[in-house]
Amino acid sequence: MIEDLDPVIHAPKRLAAMAVLTRADATFPFLRDHLGVSDSDLSKQMATLERAGYVLIAKAGRGRGSVTSYRLTREGRAAYARHRRALAAILEQAGG
Residues whose CB is less than 8 angstroms from the CB of residue 27 and which lie 6 or more positions away in sequence, other chains included: 67, 68, 69, 70
- Each residue's pLDDT tens digit, 23-61: 999 999 999 999 999 999 999 999 999 999 999 999 998
User: pTM of the prediction?
Assistant: 0.90
C-alpha span between 4 and 84 (Å, rounded): 9
pLDDT of residue 96: 55
Domain 2-93 belongs to what architecture? Orthogonal Bundle (1.10)
- Each residue's pLDDT tens digit, 56-96: 999 998 877 789 999 999 999 999 999 999 999 999 987 75
C-alpha span between 91 and 77 (Å, rounded): 21
pLDDT of residue 95: 76
